[in-house]
Chains A and B, each alone.
Chain A
Amino acid sequence: MKEDLHRFGADGRLCGIVHLPATEVRENTSAVIFITAGLIHKTGPFRLHVDLARALAAKSVPSLRFDLSGIGESEACQSGESAEQSAITDVKTAMDALVEKLGVRHFILVGLCSGAEVAHRTALSDARVTGFVAMDGYIARTRAYYFWHYLPRIFSAAKWLDFLRSKWHRVRDRNSATAADTAEDEALAFWEGPGPSRDKLAAEFRALCDRGVRQLQIFSGGSGDYSYPAQFQHAFHDVDFRDLLDVHYLRNADHVYILQSDRQQLIQLISQWITQRFPVELPARPRRDRANSNMPRGNSTVLENFSHTLRAVPLSRRRNSE
């Protein structure tokens, strides 16, 4: 395996690291692109992208992790585009760079939080994206969401104490900030704002399914917008995902997978999904029989006492289960 620093885009303004497997990369191999989340640079939170890229390279999957404009070693965008549009442009530039460097034609995007949103938006606008992994990406709240979100909080003294403490910290920090600091803070908070409506998201998911784009949607217990395993299916009950969707709810994990054990399980989950949904054809090895696949199917629990796995089910069954 090899890790090469790669500068690409106009005047090499974007900076990334390409992870190459020991085996030859073929034209029909899907390459993975990691999209940075918020202000975190290309390592990902707690080196998540580094570890995942190495795990994938060991399974013959090439990948690129890079800094979006204005993050880490990439230069800030001067085009006047919005932060979101600039990020989408950057990911497309990264795909162009990999086409040129590796000769690949198809891509799987991986992103957490704002990175997941960029993956979704790029997949909508670029046919080279054949799959994406969204961690705490777009979701809509259902009625059941409020029940499962607030029920444990109402009766928990510790939750109330935490809530009051965080309010106090916000007031204290606001008072200690200067005008210059506030301007910087505003620049940092570029991702905050209302997300798309449920109906808009549903239409976008339909468009993605029409194109055959595969999705792995992963939600953590640290996501403030997700509170029970079937929320994704309930929220988008009117979208026929066919067999293109896998949803996992890692209810014990936090938003950035800070604990090593949570991170290791996440890496295993994503690398398994990618290698099984997008198998790499190697000349010396026979293709893996789908019947022998370890990938969980149906309403099974993928990691005991840790997460719940739900595959997309036919519309009629989903409606019945709601």
Chain B
Amino acid sequence: MLIESFHSGHRGHRIYCSLHRPSTRLVRASGIVLCNPLGHEYYRTHRSYVKLAAQLSQLGFPVMRFDYSGTGDSEGDRMPERLSAWLDEVSFVVDLLRESEPVSSVALGGIRFGATLSLLAAQRLTGINALMLWDPALDGEDYMNQVQHLQERMLGDLERFPRARGIADCNDGELIGTEYAPILLREINSITPAGLLGDATPDVDAVVVTSDGMRVAGIRESVRRPRIHEHRSRRNYGWQDAHRIGETIMDPEAIRHFTTSMGSIAA
């Protein structure tokens, strides 16, 4: 069995983890932890995470995916209320990977807010050797504004609902079917590109994919990493398109870029 799924206890909740063991004789000394995005983007990207993890493990990387408490298959009914709690869980899973596999360094990566959390976690952890950033949300306020606007368009989407719905139909803090605590929204809003890409982030290689239509302002200029491996996808994933909220994202070219770049970084 190449995917080993299990629950592991962390601060009162059991976190659901899936370890993709290397399927090659060559086992690399670098492991990879993939951080999920939030809310509806989790469902859109789950299949891409599984594919990406599977293909990286075929190159000899041990790869760990996991669900934050209160999300996916993990225990709990609500998402963590503080960014620090999310980052604690990333740190916990990095430790789990280090305990179970003989790795000397770990790369962090994710899509959208998963990439944001990877950058934030990299500032707190030691032994991070690379970052994998797929359409990263670098400006928290801009990101939440986009989600807010998407929610408004979604509520009025007459292909989705026979009659337009309103904010009165949503629970407090609900954005596109997921509830955000007020304090979490404030913390996300305070994330800035300078804070994410500044001195606190380790000088490591970064593999970046940006899709068609995405503006990742200044990532090349801001990143002071030794090497940046950038790929611009021709695909438009429709992050801000209300008609495509339920659409699974699958971009084989982007996944190929991540795997070949990571293979060359860890060579």
Q: B-contacting residues of A (Cβ < 8 Å)?
A: 3, 5, 7, 11-12, 15, 17, 38-43, 45-47, 50-51, 54, 71-73, 75, 152, 156, 158-159, 162-163, 165-166, 169, 172-173, 176-178, 180-181, 184-185, 188, 221-222, 251-256, 258-263
Contact, CB under 8 Å: B170 / A181: no
- For the complex with contacts A3-B14, A54-B77, A156-B158, 8 further pairs of A-B residues with Cβ separation under 8 Å are A3-B75, A7-B1, A45-B43, A159-B158, A178-B253, A252-B161, A252-B165, A258-B177
Interface residues of B in 122-169 (CB under 8 A from A): 154, 156-165, 169
Of A17, A54, A162, the residue contacting B159 (CB under 8 A) is: A162
Q: Would you give the shortest CB distance from A9 to chain B, in whole angstroms?
A: 11
Q: Which residue in chain B gives the minimum CB-CB distance to A11?
A: B1
Q: Which residue in chain B gives the minimum CB-CB distance to A41?
A: B46
Q: Would you give the shortest CB distance from A16 to chain B, in whole angstroms?
A: 10
Q: Would you give the shortest CB distance from B245 to chain A, in whole angstroms?
A: 7
Given that A166-B243, A258-B177 are known contacts, is A40 also in contact with B158, CB under 8 Å in the complex?
no
Residue tally, chain B, CB below 8 Å to A: 52
Given that A162-B157, A222-B161 are known contacts, is A173 also in contact with B236, CB under 8 Å in the complex?
yes
Residues of A close to B154: CB separation below 8 A: 258
Residues of A close to B7: CB separation below 8 A: 3, 5
Given that A258-B177, A260-B177 are known contacts, is A73 also in contact with B171, CB under 8 Å in the complex?
no
Residues of B close to A262: CB separation below 8 A: 169
Q: Would you give the shortest CB distance from B65 to chain A, in whole angstroms?
A: 9
Is B230 an interface position by the 8 A CB rule? no
Docked complex Cα distance between A73 and B245 (Å)? 23
Contact, CB under 8 Å: B234 / A251: no
Residues of A close to B244: CB separation below 8 A: 169
Contact, CB under 8 Å: B1 / A12: yes
Docked complex Cα distance between A116 and B35 (Å)? 31
User: Nearest 6 CB-CB pairs, A to B?
Assistant: A221-B162, A258-B177, A46-B177, A254-B160, A39-B248, A260-B171
